[in-house]
Amino acid sequence: MKRIIAAILLLALTASSGIAADLPKLRVGYVPEPAHGLYFLAKEKGYFKEEGVDVELFQFGSAAEGVAAVKAGKLDVGTFGTTAPLLFISKGSEFTFIGGMMIGGQAIIARPERLAELSGKDLKVYKGKKIGLVKLSTGDVIFRGALKKAGIDVKKDLTFVEFGSAAAVVEAVKKGAVDAGLVWPPHFSLAEKNHGLKVAHYISEFYPDYTCCRIFAHTAKVNSEPETYRRFLTALIRAYKFYKTNPEETVQVYTKALKIDEDIVRNETYVKKVADSNPDPLRKGILDFWQHILAAGYIPQDYPIDKHINTAIYKQALDSVIKKEPKDKIYQQMLTFYKKNN
Amino acid sequence: MSLIAMRMIIPMIVAAALVCSGAKPVSATMQKTLRFGYLDHPGSALFLIAAAKEYFREEGLQVELIRYSESARGLSALETGVIDVGAFTTSDSLRAIADGKGFRIIAGGGTQLSANPLTELDDALQAETDSRGIIVLIPPSWPNAEKGTIIQLTAAIIKAYRTQQQSQTRDSKHTAAVHFDPNPDYWRLERIWRSLGLQDSTMKRDFLASHVYEEIYCDALDRMLLGPIDSILQQLFSKAVCTPNCCPASAAKL
């Protein structure tokens, strides 16, 4: 009996893998954040398969290891922040940005008794303060950019204390070793829930639509298989529409995939809307980000990053869904957003 | 500087570092002995300090130091597997890499400071001075599975640097002539690489970067930063350009 069951299972597996085997494969790396959820939706709802691409998802705990896996050809797509791929490109890696996953998401946390002093609509409240952060994190780079835009001298007007992890930043804020700390989701939600800390500001209040995790791949693979990547991005565009129109099911999918508190997922994704998931490449945002890294002195020499950004494949993907549903409001909004940011 | 003068400086730096901090008893799980070849040069002092202070042992490593009088001989020993790790001059090491030896740079050592006051103002002079410093390399045969061992090795060198820095603040007369920095520092190496004209038109743009294993240094530093706040480590961390770890190791940890 066991042999018969095994044989049936084998046949079933062979049949299903036979379908998948006909599709081009993409191995996709991501980090466990709710804002990376479009991958889970596209997988769960079957959009990848419907668009004709067989996607396998790999979760990474370290951006450095994830980018190294793309460089080594072990992954076909990477989603590991903006800084990490930019650092690799600056050192000669042939990567191309083809899309995006997360916009915004960074927050400044403080002890509750400091909240009145640090809140308000002006970044000048941080003058003279000691800010804990993870060096080269999106929050670090974008906060510096926001301060510069506000006319605040980052070298003279405030002090940055660098830590190795978001958890260490939270701990420093909790102990009062710093006045405030810059962290990303879900760390500030957890800091609020577990340690009673408060979010003083979301950086997007001062710097709207800044880039966080970007989707990138090996340039040679992008150039040789643009149709595969178009299908992949088309599936993500459809997942974006689902996320915008089906909040409750989306929360369930994210919670199941990430195994984190459902309330945190719901709050960050739909209530507080701390970050947006959006597959748009945000070319202008990447270029801005690069300039902030240079201005901070993290990289000593400029490099033409623009030639590592391909917006055409995303545009083709967007055009393909609009062609099928020309009156769809979500897709039309995506088109407007694309025109503004690329 | 003459060879005799160089040989006099090394014991002074090491002795100063040892006098200024007490030796610690250690217990470590010993692995196979790592043969660590180093050039007889003041910039190699960190490795002697790491051995004398038992920082290698503290990291669970059994290290045998083997002295070489010439970088060329040491690099040849590294290539043929006579030694497992090597610390030799930057210029010779980079030339070997350009020749396709496949070595990977995991840490920095020491560089003798130039007496020429123009050095700091002139990139070419600075690159020339830096090219005479020491860097630490591993051969391409190191298995990826042993990444942990390289991190331990680098951590021991960082500990030696901390000891050297602490001793320098107390007794600076012998050590000021050498600048130590355990950071492999890709961008410094890239300047030397360019100044030596090593980038061949057939090489990929990331040829050098593929041979600089900065991730190891960052991982070692990250691990050490988990301990009590240490100003010397904080300074190293501020200077390093490490890819930020954006997430916990697994979602389950959330």
Residues A130 and A179 in one domain: yes
Range 197-216 of B in CB contact (< 8 A) with A: 204-209, 215
- Between chains, do B237 and A164 touch, taking CB under 8 Å as contact? yes
pLDDT of residue B147: 87
Those residues with Cβ within 8 angstroms of residue B252's Cβ, 6 or more apart along the chain or in another chain: A259
State pLDDT tens for residues B33-60: 999 999 999 999 999 999 999 999 999 9
User: Looking at beta carbons, which residues of chain A come within 8 Å of B248?
Assistant: 32, 61, 167
Average of pLDDT values for A146-167? 89
C-alpha B254/C-alpha A213 separation (Å) is 19
Rounded Cα distance between B95 and B133, Å, is: 14
Supply the DSSP string of A208-246, one letter for each residue.
TT-B-SEEEEEHHHHHH-HHHHHHHHHHHHHHHHHHHH-
- Range in A9-13, A173-177, B4-8 the model is least confident about: A9-13
Q: What's the ipTM?
A: 0.79
β strands within B173-240, DSSP E: 178-180
Q: Are residues A162 and A299 both part of a single domain?
A: no
Both A98 and A228 in a single domain? yes
Cα–Cα distance measured from residue A79 to residue A66, given in angstroms and rounded to the nearest whole number = 8
What is the domain extent for residue A311? 2-104+212-341
pLDDT tops 90 at residue B74: yes
Q: Among the ranges A210-214, A248-252, B175-179, which has the highest mean pLDDT value?
A: A248-252
The verdict on B235 touching A (C-beta cutoff 8 Å) is no
Please tell me if residue A64 touches chain B, with a CB cutoff of 8 Å. Answer: yes
A230 and A296 co-located in one domain: yes
Structural contact between residues A278 and A318, judged by C-beta atoms closer than 8 angstroms: no
At residue A172, the pLDDT reads 92
Give A54 or A119, the one with higher predicted confidence: A54
A305 touching chain B per CB within 8 A:
no
CATH of the domain at A146: 3.40.190.10
Q: What average pLDDT does range A192-216 have in this prediction?
A: 92
Same domain (yes/no): A72, A117: no
- Backbone torsions φ then ψ of A59, nearest 5 degrees: -90, 135
What is the rounded average pLDDT of the residues A247-269?
90
The region, left, alpha or beta by phi > 0 then psi within -120 to 50, assigned to residue A214 is beta
- Give chain A's domain count: 2
Residues A116 and A163 grouped into a single domain: yes
Q: Which of A177, A205, A233 represents a domain boundary (last residue)?
A: A205
Q: What is the pLDDT of residue A64?
A: 83
Residues A144 and A288 in one domain: no
Q: Do residues A15 and A90 share a domain?
A: yes
Say if strands A180-183 and A130-134 run parallel, antiparallel, or are unpaired: parallel
Residue of B nearest to A141 (CA): B244
**Could you report the per-residue pLDDT of B80-122, keeping only the tens digit for each?**
999 999 999 999 999 999 999 999 999 999 998 877 777 777 7
Mean pLDDT of A135-150: 90
Among candidate residues A174, A205, A236, the one where a domain is terminated: A205
Residues A183, A48 within the same domain: no
- The pLDDT score that the predictor gives to residue B122 is 79
pLDDT digits (tens, 9 = 90+) for B11-29: 556 655 555 554 444 444 4
Same domain, A44 and A193: no
Tell me if A137 and B244 make a contact (CB, 8 A cut-off).
Answer: yes
Q: In terms of pLDDT, which residue wins out, A162 or A215?
A: A215
Query: What is the structure's pLDDT at B207?
Result: 96
Q: Are residues A256 and A319 in the same domain?
A: yes
Which residues of chain B neighbour A168 with C-beta distances below 8 Å?
225-226
Same domain, A292 and A230: yes
Q: What tokens does A218 get? A: 């090996």
**Residue where one domain finishes, among candidates A148, A176, A205:** A205
Q: Which domains does chain B have, with CATH numbers?
A: 3-243 (3.40.190.10)
CA distance A135 to chain B (A): 7
